[in-house]
Amino acid sequence: MDIQNKERDIRNEDKLIEFAKLLKSSKYTVVLTGAGMSTESGIPDFRSKDGLWRGIDPMKVACREALLNDYDIFYEFYKMRVNNLENCKPHIGYDILAKWEKVGLIKSIITQNVDDFHIIAGNKKVFRVHGSINEFSCVDCGKSATKDMFINKLKCHKCGSDLRPNVVLFGENLPEKELNSAIEEVQNSDLLIVIGTSLLVSPVNQLIHMTNGKKVYVNNDTSFSHYFDLTFSENVGELLHAVDRFHIQN
């Protein structure tokens, strides 16, 4: 190992220690996650060169216009997403966040992800500001439906209309209750940990400006690092595992 690599390792170790100190000294830590939190579980993200939107215009597929006027395209896209989830599960980073909530190190999770992996991993206080792809309802009357009904392209039992996953589409408002709760959580935080989000999607990207506490950013693209006290570009699972194993437990 050359001197430059040694220095980089030392610098990273110092950052891991600082991350752990911030977490252990915080009275109210909140975590905000985006698509990059789930890429290590095999779910493609949205904006990287290998992301979910590669070759697809989201404004023509994952939007209310497609839902109402081009349902076949909308349905095929979301059927693919629902089926892809069958082969994915939460990675170790999710398990660590669930553990940290259980022992009181973090208070809540705010997520832009619709896969429900935080809940599956064991987190209890989760605000799903972009909805859930595991829940379904009628486009017109709102009656609940099952995944099997959606996958098999069945109609609503009540009114006969098309079905949809309960995700927030382009052109739709975020669920007001979830968003207001997320804002309140961030305002109460003295440490905000932001993981795997490009910070390009409004209004969630404004949450980072609503805390007076410290901020940690974990993302492959750290273009917005100037807003944060500490930034990491490592893999989420490896990073959280290192912080937990070598610094939180000691």
At 194-232, the pLDDT tens digits run 999 989 888 999 999 999 999 999 998 878 899 999 999
- Phi-psi domain of 164 (left: phi exceeds 0; alpha: psi -120 through 50; beta: other): beta
102 Cβ contact partners less than 8 Å away, ≥ 6 residues apart: 122
Q: Which residues are catalytic?
A: 130
Architecture of domain 1-43+89-130+174-250: 3-Layer(aba) Sandwich (3.40)
In angstroms, the CA 117 to CA 149 distance is 22
pLDDT of residue 45: 59
In angstroms, the CA 165 to CA 138 distance is 9
Phi/psi for 217 (5° steps) reads -120, 125
pLDDT of residue 4: 42
**Each residue of 18-69: pLDDT tens digit?**
999 999 999 999 999 999 999 899 886 555 555 555 566 767 888 999 999 9
The fold for domain 46-87+134-167 equals: SIR2/SIRT2 'Small Domain' (3.30.1600)
Annotated domain spans of the chain: 1-43+89-130+174-250, 46-87+134-167
Q: Is the pLDDT confidence value at 1 over 50?
A: no
The residue-averaged pLDDT of 114-135 equals 98
